Amino acid sequence: MEMQVSAAESSASRNKLLTLHKVDKVFGRDVVALRNMSLDICEGDFISLLGPSGCGKSTALRLIAGLMQPTNGFIRWEDGRQGESLSVVFQEPTLMPWATVEKNVWLPMRLKGISFAKVRDDIREALNLVGLSGFENSYPRELSGGMKMRVSIARAMVTRPKLVLMDEPFAALDEITRFKLNNDLLQMKVKIDCTVVFVTHSVFESVFLSDRIVIMAARPGRVMQELKVDKPYPREEDFRTSNDYAAYCRAASQALKEAQEGPRQ
């Protein structure tokens, strides 16, 4: 069981996609949401930002998404592009209630001025990928919470983005639905070969999903350490009940605890 603490080492072999360099975010005069965060995001990474409320994990996500600018430090895309290669899934499904499922998934392309007819097949495929074939013409209110979240994921995946940012997307779902969506998300990640930054406060979710877990602490929000989950994709349901999984969970919980209280003497 290998557990490494260095971020640079774990991603040395892959192409770098995005760099956060000594990023601070201060709200107002003195509310420090994030302090001195550095992170290299590499192609193919599944990174979880794990920490309690107020640890700045959502702030980090919004900074990466370009919705806010850092107070100090910088965020650099290695290939300089951002718009086309980025998508976001929020905690709420964030669908347009007045539009059908397929029209909701069309949104990213529609805003690029691409007609519906042109991308109809892509939309069908994305919906198929999340298991919602046959619901193209349903309205969001006709769907369950889990299905709405699937639409939201389809909308994020339909453009084949390089980087998908997910902000506690499954936190409001029941556990059975969440497990199912975790499995499906991993399959999708492998299929469309994207990089994911996933914000969560669930140790179990972060271990199951990610290959890098960034442990964060609150007040001020900051990165404490990084754990590597050395288990290749695709991961199947049986990983959840394996000894490895339990060990990783224990290690992550311990790291999280230390992050809150300081390391044990």
Partner 1 sequence: MSELAHDPVTSFVDEEERARARRELRNRIGKWILPVVVFAVGILAWDWTIRINEIPHYILPGPGLVFQTLIQDRAILLDALMVTLQITLLALLVAVIGGAGLAILFNQSRLVEMSFYPYAVVLQVTPIVAIAPLIFIYVESKLVGLLICAWIVAFFPVLSNTTLGLKSADHNLRDLFSIYGANRWQRLLYLQLPSALPYFLGGLRIAGGLALIGSVVAEFVAGAGGIGSGLAFRILEAGYRLNIPRMFAGLILIAVTGVLIYAVLSLVSHLMLRKWHESAIKRES
Q: DSSP code of 54? A: T
Query: Applying CB under 8 A, which of residues 108, 194, 198, 235 lies at the interface with partner 1?
Result: 108
Site for partner 1 in 67-106 (CB under 8 A): 67, 83, 86-88, 90, 92, 94, 96-99
Residue 98 C-beta: closest distance to partner 1, Å: 5
* Residue number, 97 or 232, with CB nearest to partner 1: 97
Residue 90 C-beta: closest distance to partner 1, Å: 5
Interaction of residue 66 with partner 1, rule CB under 8 A? yes
Interaction of residue 28 with partner 1, rule CB under 8 A? no
Residue 61 C-beta: closest distance to partner 1, Å: 11
Q: How far apart are CA 233 and CA 45, in angstroms?
A: 11
Site for partner 1 in 114-143 (CB under 8 A): 139-141
Buried b (16+ CB within 10 A) or exposed e, 179-194: bbbbbebbbbbeeeeb
Interaction of residue 169 with partner 1, rule CB under 8 A? no
Cβ contact 123:159 at 8 Å: no
Interaction of residue 173 with partner 1, rule CB under 8 A? no
Cβ contact 127:136 at 8 Å: yes
Q: How far apart are CA 179 and CA 170, in angstroms?
A: 9
Torsion of CA 224, 57, 159, 162, to 10 degrees: -20
Under the rule (CB under 8 A), what is the footprint of partner 1?
A: 62, 65-67, 83, 86-88, 90, 92, 94, 96-99, 107-108, 110-112, 139-141
